[in-house]
Structure 1
Amino acid sequence: RIKAQLVDTFAVLSGLMLAVRPQSRKLIQGRELADNAAWFERIFEVGRRHKIMNPDTMRSSYGKLMHLLQDAALPDICRTMGADFIGSVQTVAAELEDLDA
């Protein structure tokens, strides 16, 4: 049941990307969800970063996003879907640490 809900959510996100950028059809057409895992990871990271920077916005939506990501992080779900859709939030501190600055 969780997998079906995640697949539906990812399909909606893919459809929104296609509606905004028609040239992205080649990124979606004929591909599995796992093939676009990096893109989904980036989308979720942007949402999480937005919430960090604007704590007074997305009150109910953010909670729903967190529940979705918690479900997506379950080992059984990751194994079934063939990818991990969760990444760390990119911060300035993490970027500076990566650059040894």
Structure 2
Amino acid sequence: MFLKVETAEGNGDEVLRESVIEKALVKEAKSRGGMAVKFVSPGFDGVPDRLVLLPGGKCAFVELKAPGKKLRPLKEKRKHQLEALGFSVYVIDGLEQIGGVLHGIQTT
């Protein structure tokens, strides 16, 4: 999978942005016959970024972060709430995690 890595302004260092990881997740889910739809819930802040839907009725929530970034407290709270309801919630902060997460969703 080829992806352009965006460059940080000013210093020329290459940084992997959350948007690059998000685009790669959408592309890989589609290649597996599924979708990674943007999840927006007006009036209920802190929900995960994407709802991944895969063949066979498999689904999970996915929160995307730039490498090394942590979940904000509200995002952490929503993650725990969804998990308490029995939903799977994954946090991805690197391109190398996408395949494993999608495999995990497909096999659970």
TM-score computed with the length of structure 2 as normaliser: 0.27
More helix by percentage: 1
> TM-score, normalising length from structure 1?
0.29
